[in-house]
Structure 1
Amino acid sequence: MKIQTVSGLIGIFIGFILPSVNASDAIIVYSARMAHLIKPLFDAYTQKTGVAVKFISAKEEELLDRLVIEGENTPADLLLTVDVGNLWLATEKDVLRPIDSALLDKNIPPHLRDPEKRWVGLSVRARPIMYNTETIKPENLKDYADLADPKWHGKLCLRTAKKVYNQSLVAMFIARYGEAQTRNLLTGWVNNLALPVLASDTQVIESIANRQCEIGIANTYYLGRLQHDNPQLPVAIHWHDGVHINISGAGVTKYAKHPELATQLLEWLSSEEAQDQFAELNFEYPANPQVKLSHIVEKWGKFNAETLHVSEAGRLQAQATRLMEEVGYH
C-alpha cells in the first residue's frame, strides 16, 4: 500500500497507521484503483485547477475498514473503488455522504448512480461470455444460463467465486431469476469446468486462447489489455441480451474535510475530458454516454446490457456468496 501525490511518492504506511499527511494541503483520495490508471487523471486535474490531489492506494476492503475505524478523524475526502458491491457496502457502513450535484446528474445516467446520491459510477465494465475463435462457432453460443448445458462439459473456465466481480454477477442472477434458478445455473457451471477455478480474468482469457478450455466469462477490459499486446489473440466476445455490467465509482466521505473540493473533483472525473482519458487508459466503457470509446473497445461492437439497477448487485451479494459456496463454486 502506498500514498502518492500528483508529483510523486510521499511515503509508506503499515496497517491502519496513517503517514504524516496535512489534509489542509490537498484533496485526499482513498483509491482501490491501480495507481497508473488514476495518477494521470489527478495530474491533469491539478494542472487544470491548481488543486493538489493525494491518494492512498490499497485493497477495497482495507480502505473501507480504515474509513470505519478512523471515523471523524479520517483524512479521506473521496473514496474511489471498484465494483458496485463495494460502493453498496460503503453506504451500509455509513462512510459516504449524499452528493447534491446537478452536473453529476447530467453526466452520469440514473442506473449508474446511487438512488440516495451517495456514489456515482465513473466507468462501466461489461462481463460477457468469451470464446476461442478457432474452436467455437459464435452461433452456437447463447447466454449465461446456456453455459450450464451439458454440451459444454469440460469446456468452461471461470474465475474464483472469491472475487467480488463474480459475486456481483451471481447477485444479479438472483435479482433477475430468483435463487432456485440461479442454483441450477451455478451447478451446471461447476459440472462443466475444464479446469479448477482460476485466480484472475487474465488467466481465464489466456486459458481460452491456449485451448485449455474453450469458453469463459471475464471483464472486457482484461481482453482489451491482452489484445493491445497481441492483436491476433484467438479470443472474442459473445454479446447476448442482458450482459452483466458493473462499475468503478466514487463517493465523498461522510467526514470529508473538503467536501466541496471533493465534489468538484468528482464532477470533473465525470466530464468528457476525464472520461475520455480513462477510456483510453483502461479499455473500460465511459459512464458518461457522451464520451467516445477507445479504438479497441469500439471494435467489439454494441451490446444490450442488463437493465436492473446496478445496486442490486450489492444488496444481494451476501446471498450470492452463500449460494456459490453451497453448490461447490469456490
Structure 2
Amino acid sequence: MRLSRPVPPGLRPLLAPALVALTLTAACGRGPAETPPEKDDRIVARVLDRAVWASDVRREAVAQGLVGEGEPLDASSELFRRVLDEVVDQKLLAAEARRRGLDKSPAAQRRLEAVHERILGDMLVEDVVSDAVSDQAVERLYQEQQRRAQTTEEVRVRLILSHTKEQADAVVGVLGQGAAFEAVAAQRSTDDATRYSGGDLGYSTLDVLPAPYAAALRGQAPGAVVGPVQTENGWAVLRIEDRRVETPPTLDQARPLIVRYLTYEGVRQLLERLRGKASVELLLPSSPKPQAAPAPGARPAANPASAGNAS
C-alpha cells in the first residue's frame, strides 16, 4: 500500500485559493466527451451544461480543511451535499464574472496566472515527492534510525520547589525525619503544576530535563533524594522514583514524523536542483544593517540641527 501523497504544510495555505480557482475554471478546459479527471470519478451535478465531478467536491472539502488529503468523502453524506452546494455557487459566480468580462482585465489575468502556477507547482511536488514517500522508504528510514539509535534510559522524578535555599534546606530536613515526599510536595512545593500529584514529573530522559536537574540526577539510584539544586525558578529537591530503558517508538508511531521528513527533504532537493539550473535575479535593495541598541542609561545623541538652534 502506498502512502497518500502528502502536501507540505508550507504549501497548504496556498492551496485553498488555488483549489477553489481550479473548481471554477476546470470545466472550461474539458472536451465534450467529459473525460473523468480521476479514476472511477462520476458526475454529481451539472451547472450551465458543465459537469461537476465528485473529485471537484472532494478537492474543495480538502481545501477547506473539512477532510484530509487522500481521505474519502461519501457522496451520500451531508458534508458532501453541503460542499457540492458551495461548488455550484462558485461555478455560477465564475460564469457570471466571465459574462461580464471581469476575467479580461490585466489584474485578473495576473491573479489567474498566479493561481495556475500554484496548482502546477503543487502537482510537481506531489509527483516528485510521492516516489520518495512510500511504505518501503518509510520502513527503510525507520530501521536505519533504529540501528543508529543508542539505548537510552528514562528516569521518573519527583520535585519539591522552593523560593529560597533556606526553605529548600528545611524541606531536606523534614524528609530526613521520615516525612513522605508526596505529602511534603503537596504542602510546600511552589510548583503548582506538580504539587498536587506529589511532585511527580513522570518519566523522561535526562537530556530533556533542565540542565541543573540532569547534572544532579546523573548516576543516582532509585530512592535517592538530591538537592537543593538551584534553578531559574527557585531551589529544587528531587527524588528518583525509578529508572528504565527507554522504549523506542513503533513504526506506526514514528511514521508521521518520517513521512514529514521525507516530504521536506524531497521538496528541498527539488528546489535546490531547480535553483541551481535557473537564472534568478532579485531586484530588491540591500537590507539596511540593524542599528545597535543604546547601552542602558546612555543618553541619546544630540540632533545637530537642534543643537545649533539651542546655541
Considering the TM-score relative to the shorter chain, is it more than 0.5?
Answer: no
**Under TM normalisation by the shorter chain, which class is it?**
under 0.3
Q: Which structure: greater helix fraction?
A: 2
TM-score by length of 1: 0.16
